[in-house]
Chain A
Amino acid sequence: MIESIKHIFIEETSRDLHQLNNELQSVSFENISGEVTEKIFRTMHTIKGSAPMFGYNNIAEIVIPVVETYRALSKGRLEFDNQIIEKTKNIVLLIQDELNKGDDHLPANDEEKQMLVSFFTDMNRLNDRTND
């Protein structure tokens, strides 16, 4: 059953990532709106819940720290800077790349992926420390 719905997941996630990518091209840390921030959070949140249901555990692992970073950003517990915007653009492309590879490829251990996941994980640690 899940297999037959997988193509819907791939199509909708690709569409959402494409939209995010387009929106991110025109924003900077100085002008990003609450609406775009909320949309990034919601899209990542959706992917976090749906990706493992279709075998994309690797994608879920990537988005978990992004979700928490955007939760903190949307609540004003973290502030946007250029680096966050740039890393978000990169992670959107990385998720699309993982989606294109399919669910049965060996987990990537490349430098770019590790660097991006570490960046968002560090952001969350910073947020946790700030709010302790």
Chain B
Amino acid sequence: MAKTVLIVDDSESIREVVNFTLQNEGYDVLVGVDGEDALKFLDGRTIDIVITDLHMPNLDGLGLIRKVREMEAYKHIPILFLTTESQASKKMEAKQAGATGWIIKPFVPAKLLSAISRVLR
């Protein structure tokens, strides 16, 4: 059965690249345009991994991850940050909030796929 990935990014072009990359590899993809929008998908359905941007309007990546970790159904779901941010302090903050991993933009699609495979193994 195909794994389901929730991608969250306020950039349409990045969403398209990630969506295309994942669908091409057989993943089912759900797409949120910011943290607030992504919450609508977290309604008890099966989601295998969340890939989120950090800096977004309405609800940013850190806000999203904190909300997800409060949900019983998604408490242990892997969450990868896909972000331009490379500051160590932000990475630490994300880790403390419950992030599983961190991928820097710009990214090579193969690297993204490999990170997802590693986490879902």
- Interface set of A (CB-CB < 8 Å, partner B): 1-2, 5-6, 8-9, 12-13, 39, 41-42, 45-46, 48-54, 60, 67
Contacts and interface: CB of A to CB of B under 8 A. Distances in A.
B14 A50 contact: yes
B88 to A, nearest CB: 14
A42 B57 contact: yes
Nearest to A57: B106
A50 B20 contact: no
A24 to B, nearest CB: 18
A85 B106 CA distance: 28
B13 A8 contact: yes
Contacts of B109: 1
Interface of B: 10-14, 16-17, 20-21, 24, 55-57, 83-85, 105-107, 109
A82 to B, nearest CB: 27
A12 B55 contact: no
B13 A54 contact: yes
Contacts of B56: 42
Contacts of A67: 84
Contacts of B12: 8, 12
B13 A12 contact: yes
Given A45-B84, A48-B84, A53 B57 contact: no
Contacts of A8: 12-13, 16
Contacts of B21: 1
Contacts of B24: 1
A46 B17 CA distance: 14
A42 to B, nearest CB: 5
A132 B20 CA distance: 44
A9 B84 contact: no
Contacts of A49: 11, 14, 83-84, 105-106
A53 B16 CA distance: 12
A81 B108 CA distance: 39
Contacts of A60: 106
A50 B11 contact: yes
B55 A41 contact: yes
